[in-house]
Chains A and B, each alone.
Chain A
Amino acid sequence: MAVKSADTPLNKQSKGKYTWHMMKTNKACYAMLAPFMILFIIFTVIPVIITLPLAFTNFDIAHFPKFTGLSNFYTLFLNDDTFMIAVQNTLVFAVFTGPFSYVLSFILAWLINEMHPVLKTFFTFVFYAPSMTTSAYVIWQLLLSGDSKGYINAILIDYGILNSPNQWLTDTKFILPVCIIVQLWISMGAGFLSLRAGFQNIDKSMYEAGAIEGIKNRWQELFLITIPSMGPQLLFAAVLQISASFTVGTVSQNLVGLPSTDYAAHTVMNHATDYGWIRYEMGYASAICLILFVVMLLVNKAINWMLRKYVD
């Protein structure tokens, strides 16, 4: 926008000069960016970049990192059975809390959008409320508690479905499904709100135009008008969902402890926390994080490719 009538660059030499000139004319832009960028670089860019060199070292915080080559990765993939369990669990988590909850939040936002304004507010609140409550796991802990006082056990016994209480949080059979349900419960977060806002931003005249063009029902309207005009929101929600579903761990950590019984709900993030926080093996934890980051970037690329036609 701040481009004034500047000469177009003729060759490489003048291109550098031109860029410098443009940077000088747009000083104000950089000044406005600075506060965000400084904090962003310190607290997000540096931690991400630093994992790369640290992943190849043996670093325990107290001593200077010692270069160990690929040994962290050898250990991870060949000698660390727990890591393999964690990868498996994370993938299971990712499938359920990723695509499933993504589609669910889209459907919910879409259905809510057609409601009366009061109901709209009400349902938005209801669906979004769980993700605002960190202390929620305390409630689930009591709902799911292993003795017959646990609410879910009590109901199931009352109706004769169960004979004895289930150990929901310590029995390896139940830990993962229970964690997935709780994770799903809190997953209607920012992505859901963004989709909700996206529906509101769609130009109403598009629907009128659609009606004139002969759109017959909700489904046609959804696929021909709504989804194509929600590209940015869809992508945003997808990115958040990837980020959330690959870094799951906090909920299971709070709900079933770290480590969970037999590592039944152990995720990659839990593994990194275990090594980074508890054992102070930052090099090893960095290697785990690095792998996680690479996988997240790849999945993100794939989603970008899938949604590219809806985003400019």
Chain B
Amino acid sequence: MGTKKKKKRVDIDNVKVKKNNKKLTASRGGNICIFLFLCITGIFMIFPIYYAVVQSFKPIEELFVFPPKLYVLNPTTKNYSDMMKVATSLWVPLSRYIFNSVFVSIVVTVCNLFVCCCAAFVLSKCKFPGNQFLNKLIVTALLFSSSATWIIQYLVMATLGMIDTYWALILPSIATPMGLFLMRQSMSTIHDSMIEAAKVDGAGLFRICWQVVVPNQKPAIMTLIIFAFQDAWNRQSGTIIFSEELKTLPTIMQQIAATGIARQGVTFATSVILMLPPLIVFLVAQSNVMETMANSGIKD
């Protein structure tokens, strides 16, 4: 009898909780409105990208139909093969540009992650003279993103003799205030007790950083990877690189795209190719973030 009564009480409690939850997640009408709003904004955001993909698969006779169609009747990959033809007729083989882009992007991403994790750990978890000042400096430095300092940065690179080398593509993108700040914000949520414990066990700062703190920072790491890769991949090399064999993909894609209206399909094909890597990196990293969040459900 006693146990039955207890069960009943538990049930009643559950009902109460459910009611509260229902209130919290708000009305159904509200949900539908939100969904509609998101869809409309989403269509505005995704439409140009969708349109570029559709256009890139259109055969020439469909490209110039009036009024333009939102879908493809006879999808063709001719635009892409044309693009390859244009690319192979270049002075330097396309594979070289691809290698440059991939090489620069990966080096920048790895270095950025390493440098930012080290610095963020020290700034967020260690007390030493100058810490406060550096923390303030980083927050202020967020304002001076590469687009703001770009023009004057050229002078520094020229002085160091880095113009027209890989260094000019790699070094300026590594120490991003944004990456450091993001990491620092994320690391400062870690309990000091965890670090103390590692210290008691005799680990040095570097080991604490990479074996205790960083493995707990998966979402932040993924976000950093997204930013760093995207930044490096999209960086225009036009003004700092003159040697054809050092140019990156975006620069050369734009040269292909600039070949005029007759190559509209090719233009769209190139822009699709250029869009893909950051999107893929984001999708991969994003799903990892979700996974980490799902695993981080258990508390204490």
Q: Are A297 and B140 in contact (CB under 8 A)?
A: yes
Whether A286 contacts B152 in the complex (CB less than 8 A), given A28-B205, A108-B41, A121-B286, comes out as yes
A59 and B205 alpha carbons, distance in the complex (Å): 46
Tell me the residues in window 260-296 of chain B with beta carbons closer than 8 Å to chain A beta carbons. Answer: 264, 267-268, 270-271, 274-275, 278-279, 282-283, 286-287, 289-290, 293-294
Q: Is the interface of A mostly helix, strand, loop or mixed?
A: helix
Is there an interface contact between A289 and B293, defined as CB atoms closer than 8 Å? no
Contact A23 B128 (CB under 8 A): yes
Are the CB atoms of A293 and B129 closer together than 8 Å? no
Closest to B195 in A: A1
Taking a contact as CB atoms under 8 Å apart, the answer to whether B156 and A158 are in contact is no
* B142 within 8 A of partner (CB): yes
Docked-complex contact B205 and A47, CB < 8 angstroms: no
Residues of A within 8 A of B254 (CB): 135
The answer, yes or no, to whether B106 is at the interface (CB within 8 Å) is no
Q: Mark A23-42, 1 if CB is under 8 A from B, else 0.
A: 10010111011011111101
Inter-subunit contact A33/B123 (CB<8 Å): yes
Are B48's CB and A139's CB within 8 A? yes
Query: Which residues of A295-312 have CB atoms within 8 Å of chain B's CB atoms?
Result: 296-297, 300
* Interface pair B151/A243, CB less than 8 Å apart: no
Q: Known pairs A36-B115, A190-B227, A236-B181. 18 more at Cβ < 8 A?
A: A32-B206, A35-B115, A43-B172, A45-B141, A47-B155, A47-B156, A48-B149, A121-B287, A133-B49, A134-B234, A135-B254, A142-B264, A142-B267, A149-B64, A236-B182, A239-B142, A249-B147, A250-B147
- B contact residues vs A (CB 8 Å cutoff): 20-21, 23-26, 30, 34, 37-38, 41-42, 44-46, 48-49, 51-52, 55, 64, 66-68, 114-116, 118-119, 121-123, 125-129, 134, 139-145, 147-149, 151-156, 158, 160, 171-172, 174-175, 177-178, 180-182, 185, 189, 192, 195, 204-206, 209, 219-220, 223, 226-227, 230, 234, 236, 239, 250, 253-254, 257, 264, 267-268, 270-271, 274-275, 278-279, 282-283, 286-287, 289-290, 293-294, 299
A: residues with CB less than 8 A from B are: 1-3, 19, 22-23, 26, 28-30, 32-33, 35-40, 42-48, 50-51, 54, 61, 108, 111-112, 114, 117, 120-121, 123-130, 132-136, 138-140, 142-143, 148-149, 151, 154-155, 157-158, 185, 188, 190, 193-194, 197, 200-201, 205, 207, 211-212, 215-218, 221, 232-233, 236, 239-240, 242-244, 246-247, 249-250, 269, 272-273, 276-277, 282, 285-286, 289, 292-293, 296-297, 300
